[in-house]
Amino acid sequence: MSKKITVLVLVCLFGIGVVITPALADSYKIGAVFAVTGRASFLGDPEKKTAVMVADQINKAGGIGGKKLELIVYDTEGDATKANLAVKKLINQDKVCAVIGPSLSGTSMAVVPLAAQYKTPLISVAASYKITWDDKANKARHWVFKTPQTDTMAVEAIYTHLKKRGINKIAIMSVTSGFGKSGHGELVRLAPQYGMNIVADEFYGPKDTDMTAQLTKVKGLAPKAIVNWSIGPTQVVILRNWKDLGMTSIPFYQSHGFGSRKNIELAAGAAEGVYTPLGAINVAEILPTSHVQKNVTMQFFNDYSARYKEPLSSFGGHSWDAMHMVIKALRAVGCNRTAIRDFLENNTAGFVGQHGVFNYSQKDHIGLDKDAFLMIVVKNGDWALAQ
């Protein structure tokens, strides 16, 4: 009996499948994998919400060349295995035209080989340059692009600003997590190029309660600026310690991980005068109207806040950039994976996105440079453009 029911149910399910498939054949499919839940949900959640919003907007405006845009999102939970399975499913079962995501550098590296294996364009929304650059072959990965800025660009933006102010004696501080280590590596690697003399190189744990000891040591070495690389509560605690120790005369530079107003609030006044490199979308409201990204960022800012009734997260901007570039490609060449890849590489130059103006090329699948970061200073408890 129960066997019969199972068979019946299966037949029904297949039946429905057959009915549904032709109904959707008249659509372009974009696949997306984000860490919607789990420890990296602060990335994946706004990325998914943004992608869903963009797809709805496109469909409301008549779709792409008369066809509907169908967005299929899977949750990786920040897990490499799940990301790998999800991308395989998107490519082989869902037959998507292109894949956007994953959210993390680690999960992105886990799916990068699939893009080449199945010849499908993949646009990652994670940070590491290694996602698009093959160190061994010393060339860009053919099928892989990415939208976020890299640590390298943030370091370059900070060092350029320091150099402009005539500062070359600096202390660097970093958290001993993946984010801090990656930033630390770039800070040390690029220092000679910019003539930076690192007089102190201090570390702290991601759950440390106090960084007074490290800062006291830094104070004794009298650097002309401090560059700090961390995310989470430590980047706020360190600012309070910096202020308490009377070190505010030493300019303090935070990484791009500082880009949330919540951090200014948590610092309880200690963030005043702190510099940080941020993408245009973080500071949409204060951009001058002449800024090339003013219109796109304000539009996204208003749409997102109106739809989700929550403050915009700049991470959503990475999936906005990826979605719109893929849509642009779909409009031009339709659902042809090879043509989409070629279009992204050759025909998206000058694309104005949320995090910069993109210029992909055969050698560069990141498409941004240090100008994608604006130098921001905390003034009167809010962001302001730094001189």
Partner 1 sequence: MEKITFASQLMQYLITGLTVGSIYAMVAIGFNIIYNVTEIINFAQGEFVMLGGLIMVFLHVAAGLPLLAAFPLTIILVTLAGMLLDRLAISPIRQPSVLTLIIATIGASIIIKGIAMFIWGKDPFDLPAFSGRNPIHLMGAVIQPQYLWVGGFLIIIVILLTFFFEKTIIGKAMSACAENPDAASLVGINVKHMILLSFSLSAAIGAVAGITITPISLMEYDRGAMLAIKGFGAVVLGGLGSFPGAILGGLILGTIESFGAGLIHSGYKDAFALIVLLAVLFIRPSGLLGSVEVSKFKRF
> Which one of residues 233, 307, 339, 342 is an interface residue with partner 1 (CB under 8 A)?
233
Q: How far apart are CA 309 and CA 299, in angstroms?
A: 15
> Which one of residues 21, 93, 249, 290 is an interface residue with partner 1 (CB under 8 A)?
249
> Which one of residues 107, 214, 319, 354 is an interface residue with partner 1 (CB under 8 A)?
214
Assess 220 for contact with partner 1 (CB under 8 A). yes
Tell me the closest approach of the beta carbon of residue 46 to partner 1, in angstroms: 13
Contact window for partner 1 (CB under 8 A) among 96-104, 105-113, 238-246, 316-324: 238-246
Assess 80 for contact with partner 1 (CB under 8 A). no
Assess 210 for contact with partner 1 (CB under 8 A). yes
Alpha-helical runs (H) found in 194-333: 212-221, 234-244, 261-266, 294-308, 316-333
Supply 364's token pair: 């560069």
CB 39 within 8 A of CB 80: no
> Which one of residues 64, 110, 226, 237 is an interface residue with partner 1 (CB under 8 A)?
237
Assess 369 for contact with partner 1 (CB under 8 A). no
Q: How far apart are CA 324 and CA 380, in angstroms?
A: 35
Indicate the SS3 state at residue 232: coil
Contact window for partner 1 (CB under 8 A) among 87-95, 119-127, 128-136, 242-250: 242-250
Taking the chain, what is the end-to-end CA distance rounded to the nearest angstrom?
77
Q: How far apart are CA 76 and CA 55, in angstroms?
A: 20
Site for partner 1 in 124-183 (CB under 8 A): 176
Assess 16 for contact with partner 1 (CB under 8 A). no
Q: How far apart are CA 87 and CA 122, in angstroms?
A: 9
The site for partner 1, by CB under 8 A, has a size of 35
Angular region, 189: left φ>0, alpha ψ -120 to 50, beta rest: alpha
Q: Which residues contact partner 1 (rule: CB under 8 A)?
A: 41-42, 176, 202-205, 207-210, 212-214, 216-217, 219-220, 222, 232-233, 236-237, 240, 244-247, 249-250, 262, 265-266, 268-269
